[in-house]
Structure 1
């Protein structure tokens, strides 16, 4: 905020540029992992890596440039400009999460470690509302640079400390009321096979990859798992082909489970186009239940929010003509599934699947529950973070996904092929001993943590955030009657 307050000549142009440059730095550091997927098939796609990061960072930074410009137009030289700053940047962050399908990666409110005391405010106002609070608190120390008396500076510092203290106090009280896990909760086994993305799609590796998942699923443990979870796109094949009559993999998949067990498996599936000879491809979660006569599919969820450029190409035919194509290892781009709803596989508590970056979107689970009239008992996030190698990307993704637990008051089970897999309680905290880091092979066996009563955010969504924006707008209206910062 101080940099925007201090612009000299041509203040509006300078405000946009400073906001944009700050955004380039923020998103350049936060999204540098985007280059990694292009080296999975380096021969054909590495040439796009030097283009991807500047385009992404520069494009996302346009939102910050616009926020800086809006702030300079609306703010006045008074203490309340902190709320104008928070409103302008939080609103543009909300737009970043919605425009052109949205990409709410690393929202300012998610800079707090998920599960910490300050992060619990997301249960009230969601990640966007917490972003408003975080931006206001982050900008407030700039007020101490104003030409005010020592007494006024002391009051300002005390107010800032008071609000930070309230944030920590609320979170600490909320966490202290955590319920005791129910002893009869389902035992879930999360399988992490540590298959590098560069090796996964080599045809000769299918058998060994399959056997790795099967052996880990059947690994002896202290108790018998009720549910086994494999990550997004676990096997390098279309699931329809693997379980088709005559395929040797169908019986082996059946034998990976004991009678009564359910496998929740991230899989690519194909569906014939009506009246056509080609297929639609879906990134799916499929529930297989082992019964006496064999495997039975008890639920299917098709990914609704697809990754632009990763799972489909915007302006697909035009992009293909100039040499661009999506990164999926499919004959064609993925097709988006229907509007999401919780699924209820036989013998499994109602669950809301979030495939890969669907876990970035605040309100996704709430909207699905409202749409269906069914609140899930838990959230399952299957993701293929192997695309991002051993970078900060998987760790960031884990933190952001954990915020969906805080917002909804629901536990999350997270499964990835190379890390980070975890079982997370309804406060966004990874359970003790229930985490597999980057590059680890193994399983997590953990009881499903209990769900909480619906949070304020689960009941009212972004209403709290909207009220914060209204407060910022009221300050802007009041500022019309004061001398502007720039004449």
Structure 2
């Protein structure tokens, strides 16, 4: 191991960049749908050794000294994001005649940009770098900080956070309810990097002991939480999730809209399967309604006719506002609407966090001058809502609905159990085909369920639709690219006065502890050197 580490430390030029790239790509095997977390025990020790050798020729200025570390982290990030997000380009092939030209910008450009986060992480780690376990603590803190920044900088895109590699199955997801994803990022990178200590054996016993203790606590807490008795509840809500599997080339085609709508109604009207109860709630995917209700009021009548007494339909739809007076702008919202058995819209929420270039164009006027328009989401730009509120379901149950990739933001989806008993996620992952994308998106729903301790109902146009219990376990699901329904009675816990999840404090506490420990060891090393 010492000889291997030495050879990696001494690499330079394209060989160093290539190994960093490959190490990052290997780390993606820890993410869904592969869930091979052991790959990270290879990737991160390699990264540690590469950063051990990321030093500039002396003498050098501040920026030049940090450049080798930045380049190493950037190449690691490029491998990670390219291998993990290559499928994003598939959205541009749905209308290839118009948007195929942009494929390289999406498939390669996005990983290129995201790689700067990991370049920054490597620089931050290198600033706190010291011998032995100190550098492992520094790397864990730096990546934890960077992954947190990735949740909000430049609108945020926390897809495939590193901590997810430590949570491939529900048993190993439970710790996120205590430390949050930000905390899991720190702890996972630490544990994955500890094997690097095998090369020089400095603080090896301490590092292995901490790693084993963290892993044991991770597994033990998961086992305790997932097997402990749950207080019984007599309150349930009968749910039907509809997965229509509509081809995206037909979604906005005016010639087939009535057929698309009829498919949704037929699935909603199907008799419950043997042993299932008549649904109280029917859930359609994101933008599943193929027209505007104010242009087709007959659609609301048809929905009312399809629903039995007491049933409620929650549907993803485009909602229009404004334009009633001359000169007033028309605004379109990506929404979830609640429709009663009388065919009336009784409530609605609009999407708060929109997809840049998919649902709106940043700096639209400037982009229009260079011919760049909206790429994938539909025939109009959307406006963002200022706020959201829980939607009322049968029996006083409250649901917080999140549209598409809103579900990937931990703090956006952190709900208060006193006001929400169910989380709803409607999406349309058909843009990305049968690639790792939909599986990675579904994993986000599982983690959100565990973080909040609430069930998640997920309706996706082509999959994966499913029901996840408060422990991240998939109760039932529909496979990719099938048309069908799920009927299930979902237990609903009584509302409590519990505040929003307390991991929102613990994750920062973990980052602080690691930063202080890494900084303290760095200071001690300097004092000893002097």
Q: Distance in 2 between matches of 1:89 and 1:353?
A: 30
1:68-107 aligned at under 5 Å gives the runs 68-107=122-161
TM-superposed CA distance for 1:162, in Å, is: 2.6
Q: Distance in 2 between matches of 1:257 and 1:242?
A: 18
Task: Please point out which of 474, 477, 484 is paired with 2:519.
Answer: 477
Number of the residue aligned with 2:53: 6
1:323-338 aligned at under 5 Å gives the runs 323-327=371-375, 330=378, 332-338=380-386
| 1:266 aligned onto 2:316 | yes
Deviation track 1:128-158 (CA, whole Å, cap 9, x = no partner) reads: 111111111111111121244xxx6455434
Number of the residue aligned with 1:30: 84
- Higher RCO (CA < 8 A, seq sep 6+): 1
- Cα 1:173–1:324 change in 2 (3 A) is same
Task: Please point out which of 500, 503, 512 is paired with 1:458.
Answer: 500
Number of the residue aligned with 2:43: none
TM-superposed CA distance for 1:269, in Å, is: 1.0
TM-superposed CA distance for 1:400, in Å, is: 1.0
Q: Distance in 1 between matches of 2:211 and 2:377?
A: 51
Deviation track 1:291-335 (CA, whole Å, cap 9, x = no partner) reads: xxx222221100000011110011111112212111356554100
Number of the residue aligned with 1:189: 240
Q: Secondary structure at the match of 1:435?
A: strand
Q: Which deviates more, 375-384 or 464-473? A: 464-473
Unpaired runs of at least 5, structure 2 = 1-47, 58-64
- Cα 1:250–1:159 change in 2 (3 A) is closer
Task: Please point out which of 75, 95, 98 is paired with 1:44.
Answer: 98
| 1:254 aligned onto 2:304 | yes
Contact 1:306 1:312 in 2 (8 A): yes
1:117-156 aligned at under 5 Å gives the runs 117-148=171-202, 153-154=204-205, 156=207
Contact 2:162 2:188 in 1 (8 A): yes
- Cα 1:91–1:304 change in 2 (3 A) is same
Q: Distance in 1 between matches of 2:286 and 2:455?
A: 19
| 1:396 aligned onto 2:444 | no
- Cα 1:101–1:486 change in 2 (3 A) is farther
Number of the residue aligned with 1:307: 355
| 1:157 aligned onto 2:208 | yes
Unpaired runs of at least 5, structure 1 = none
Task: Please point out which of 411, 414, 426 is paired with 1:382.
Answer: 426
Deviation track 1:223-262 (CA, whole Å, cap 9, x = no partner) reads: 211000000000222232222xxx4x33322222111100
Deviation track 1:52-75 (CA, whole Å, cap 9, x = no partner) reads: 122110111100001101111111
Deviation track 1:97-152 (CA, whole Å, cap 9, x = no partner) reads: 1102111111111224465222111100111111111111111111121244xxx6
Q: Secondary structure at the match of 2:313?
A: strand
- Cα 1:265–1:63 change in 2 (3 A) is same
| 1:204 aligned onto 2:255 | yes
Number of the residue aligned with 2:11: none
Task: Please point out which of 149, 154, 163 is paired with 1:109.
Answer: 163
Q: Distance in 2 between matches of 1:445 and 1:318?
A: 48
Q: Distance in 1 between matches of 2:399 and 2:477?
A: 20
- Cα 1:120–1:300 change in 2 (3 A) is same
CA RMSD of aligned residues (A): 2.4
- Cα 1:113–1:70 change in 2 (3 A) is closer
Q: Distance in 2 between matches of 1:101 and 1:161?
A: 37
After TM superposition, the score normalised by the length of structure 1 is: 0.91
Number of the residue aligned with 1:228: 282
Q: Distance in 1 between matches of 2:318 and 2:455?
A: 26
Q: Distance in 1 between matches of 2:324 and 2:518?
A: 54
Q: Secondary structure at the match of 2:321?
A: strand
Q: Secondary structure at the match of 2:145?
A: helix
Q: Distance in 2 between matches of 1:420 and 1:329?
A: 19
Q: Distance in 2 between matches of 1:387 and 1:485?
A: 57
Q: Distance in 2 between matches of 1:63 and 1:75?
A: 18
After TM superposition, the score normalised by the length of structure 2 is: 0.84
TM-superposed CA distance for 1:389, in Å, is: 1.0
| 1:441 aligned onto 2:483 | yes
